[in-house]
Chain A
Amino acid sequence: MRFDSYHPMINFIYFTAALVGAVCFDHPAFLAVSYVCAFLYSVKLNGKRSLIFNVCLMPLIPVYAGIYSYYNHYGVTNLHVNFIGNQITLEAVAFGLVIGVKIVTVLMILSCVFAVISSDKVIYLFGRISPKLSLFLSILLRSVPRIRARARRIGISRRGIGKGCAQGNVFERIRHVCALFSILITWTLEDFFESAASMKCRGYSLRGRTAFSIYRFDNRDRGFVIAAFSGILLMAAAAALDQTHIYYNPEIIMNRITAVSFVFYAGYAFFLLLPMLLQIVGEASFRHAVHANHR
């Protein structure tokens, strides 16, 4: 039901589009839409933890605007003169707010990305570029925790003979830490030879490697693609019609807001909320099904 049950390619397209929108659109209406949608979706995905995270991010926006306006003095509307005699302008404050909102929105979207896109999916996406690259990533993901665990084991072994990293005087400790690293490197290399042999055994060096994945592209994914692309097209149209952009320097200038503008806002919101809506619909129909099963 969650968005992570969709094909990785779709996750990738959606989040890329969402991030591009959040970064490039500086029209306040679009900004507000991205901010609210990212807020809602991250809370839907991660619950209370996200709510706390998002609320903690909020003060970042005015703080950033403050700092920005303190160092940038363009614009025509003076608000205040600070103690060194520099002008604080409305335009700089407004643009600082815009960037602050963008940063916070991107952070919230990224929290959704981490919840939805697992390492498996990343590896799959790289596998589309090159099977070898995805295998390399997979090996890396295997090696890092292994080396860490091995370092811990060496540490314990060395402590058992009084040569741990926290035993002895300062010089001895430094020596013990160096020894630990030396053992770690030798041991890791030694094991790596065996891993390499195991890879060779299973034909690693053969030509024409493929990349297997456990994902399948089904009709649900196709439906999502159509919906998402119509959203993206609408956004592209908005961008082409200069609806997403305004000027802050030297003066705030934006295009007139017309009825069509609202269509664009609604389309953007629909696109961003799509995964969340699908999740809600899915959960509702699950409840319905459970209900039916118990009847």
Chain B
Amino acid sequence: MAHFEIKNLSFSYPAAREKKTLQDINLTIGHGQYVTVCGRSGSGKTTLLRQLKSALAPHGKLTGEILFEGRSLKEVGLREQSGSIGYVMQNPDNQIVTDKVWHELAFGLESLGMDQKTIRLRVAEMASYFGIQGWFHKNVTELSGGQKQLLNLASIMAMQPSVLILDEPTSQLDPIAASDFLNTVRKINRELRTTIIITEHRLEDIFHASDKVVVMENGRIIADDEPRKIGEFLKMGGNHMFTAMPTPVQIFYGVENSLTCPLTVREGGDWLSQLFEGKEVRERQVPEIQEGRSVPEPDEVKDPAVFVKEVWFRYEKDAPDILKGVTMRVPKQSLFAIVGGNGTGKSTTLKTICDICRPYRGKVYIDGKPVQKYKGGELFRGNLAMLPQDPQSLFVKKTVREDLQEMLRGSQKEQAEQIEAIAQTCEITPLLDSHPYDLSGGEQQRAALAKVLLTNPRILLLDEPTKGIDSFFKQQFAQILKRLKTQGVTVIMVSHDVEFCAKYADYVSMFFDGSIVTTNTPNRFFSRNSFYTTAANRMSRHIFENAVTNEDVIELCRKNLKKN
């Protein structure tokens, strides 16, 4: 008997009766399966997942049937569903209800009305299994994002669900915390035989582990197969979702060959070795200067847009230093990326550049003028603007259009023109009349960017702009940044997204322990690293010298195969 069986499911929201959010969904999920659901934002993934738990199912018109262990889901009572269907949501913070870790672990069990003794044992079990003992008595505010999400998972697992549904659980986490989390999910699946249904943007960590991948588009399931076949399907169909596939899959289908498709970096490396077995590899390097853009050494930059000179900063008098002598020169009209671990001071650096945090030693120059000399808001009018990590923190009004108007002065007509222009740059014209909170993550990001850009900044600061955004929106975002660069804007970006930086940045700086360790072009930077680098580089470094992006590897493969 299947664990979940979905038969001819269609669903539409009351607001838009004609447009079906889900259409003719047929899906069978077996006991203990690991199922990945992927698709672009707005393809109906979340709506589908929410249907699988009655407490979360949105209101609307539903036809078709969902069977849970052979019974109609409607007949399975709230009590049973609470226990046996676990659901983890996106935002780690919003799911935590109580103030203490131990209380959160017990929350679900309290709801089920269990007695002290049982709860005590379950909680102990969970804390031990998930390695939570160390922070069992802590306040939840003291936890990191990764710990919070792990706590959410543990407090759901405490109820011993037979199926675990996860809706983009790692979109708000940094890569290290994300892969830790996904490994734990994998462990649960392997060791406890819990059925997993998961949606994710970062497929690298889960694609190879899945028994089955379901691809959704416009509310329909367009593919439902094992992972190796999905890549082929998407490539043949020229589907946008192909760009979300893990690096090895994308490279594999970029090169003509008849071997089996690799899913992980290790398999990818083996595949490359096999591909060039017995063949001479003549071309080992990609040219460093691409698209005719010459890149000066970062230390030789004349007339930098932003010059940070040995900046030291701490938040309180007796607190430890966050920045310890940060020095950087950002060339004009470049995309300057700062990468590095959590809590190393990357975001604080951005804040010192825009004078929100004032250093106690060292100076920041914007266009050669010390940042403190910009008086009375001059800095934020036509000079500098920062796009915050959470775009919601900028939206005040009921529609995106009104929100953009907040930034403007002048006559109605001028305003309308400016909004039209900026909406086009940021590709949000169709969204202007929606409520900012109704937009998806990527759309919110672009709307916030539009708002920030209305101050006409020459220098744009971005704090983790690709967090929680799907691959399609990332590309769109990169195009916008490129366009801005040609208009004379300098972009400084703090990011965890190694792949994005490798592909689109002009410079990459490694931030560690309060200062910049090295700055270089992405190609040199990533090809010299062996851990902190892109999947394409890790997979190809034993054959090619400086292939950093997927395109680099594909290009080198093609060149070498042609010659032989």
Binary per-residue interface labels of chain A (188-213) against chain B in the complex, 1 for a CB within 8 Å, 0 otherwise: 00110011011111111111111111
A47 on interface, CB distance cutoff 8 Å:
no
Residues of B within 8 A of A191 (CB): 91, 93-94
Number of interface residues of A (CB under 8 A): 51
Residues of A within 8 A of B400 (CB): none
A141 on interface, CB distance cutoff 8 Å:
yes
**Complex contact B377–A162 (CB within 8 A):** yes
| B55, closest chain A residue (CB) | A200
Number of interface residues of B (CB under 8 A): 66
In the complex, what distance in Å separates the CA atom of A201 from the CA atom of B161? 12
Residues of A within 8 A of B103 (CB): 120, 123, 138, 212
Binary per-residue interface labels of chain B (39-76) against chain A in the complex, 1 for a CB within 8 Å, 0 otherwise: 00000000000000101100000000000000000000
A94 on interface, CB distance cutoff 8 Å:
no
| A181, closest chain B residue (CB) | B396
**Complex contact B159–A202 (CB within 8 A):** yes
Binary per-residue interface labels of chain B (356-370) against chain A in the complex, 1 for a CB within 8 Å, 0 otherwise: 100000000000000
In the complex, what distance in Å separates the CA atom of A198 from the CA atom of B98? 11
**Complex contact A167–B377 (CB within 8 A):** yes
| A131, closest chain B residue (CB) | B110
**Complex contact A158–B110 (CB within 8 A):** no
**Complex contact A153–B79 (CB within 8 A):** no
Given contacts A191-B94, A195-B95, contact A157 B141 (CB under 8 A): no
Q: How far is the CB of B106 from chain A (nearest CB, A)?
A: 4
Binary per-residue interface labels of chain B (438-470) against chain A in the complex, 1 for a CB within 8 Å, 0 otherwise: 000000000000011001000001000000000
In the complex, what distance in Å separates the CA atom of A187 from the CA atom of B437? 9
Say which one of B304-312, B332-340, B383-391, B486-494 lies at the interface with A: B383-391
Residues of A within 8 A of B354 (CB): 159-160
In the complex, what distance in Å separates the CA atom of A191 from the CA atom of B394? 15
Residues of A within 8 A of B258 (CB): none
B316 on interface, CB distance cutoff 8 Å:
no
B116 on interface, CB distance cutoff 8 Å:
yes
Q: Which among A120, A149, A182, A202 has the greatest number of chain B C-beta atoms within 10 A?
A: A202
B100 on interface, CB distance cutoff 8 Å:
yes
| A172, closest chain B residue (CB) | B377
B543 on interface, CB distance cutoff 8 Å:
no
Residues of A within 8 A of B86 (CB): 201
Q: Please report which residues of chain A, range 103-154, place their CB below 8 angstroms from some CB of chain B when the two chains form the complex.
A: 119-120, 123, 131, 135, 138-139, 141-142, 145-146, 149-150, 153-154
Given A138-B98, A160-B388, A161-B451, 12 other A-B residues pairs in contact with their CB atoms under 8 A: A150-B393, A157-B390, A160-B356, A191-B93, A194-B89, A202-B108, A203-B82, A203-B111, A203-B159, A206-B78, A210-B110, A213-B116
9 A-B pairs with CB atoms under 8 Å apart are A141-B99, A142-B99, A153-B393, A183-B392, A194-B94, A197-B55, A203-B111, A210-B113, A212-B109
Chain B residues in the interface with A (C-beta under 8 A)? 53, 55-56, 78-79, 82-83, 86-87, 89, 91, 93-100, 102-103, 106-116, 119-120, 123, 137, 140-141, 152, 155-156, 159, 351, 354, 356, 377, 379-381, 385-388, 390, 392-396, 406-407, 437, 451-452, 455, 461
* 5 interchain residue pairs of minimum CB distance: A162-B380, A160-B386, A203-B82, A157-B388, A203-B111
Chain A residues in the interface with B (C-beta under 8 A)? 119-120, 123, 131, 135, 138-139, 141-142, 145-146, 149-150, 153-154, 156-162, 167-168, 179, 182-183, 186-187, 190-191, 194-195, 197-214
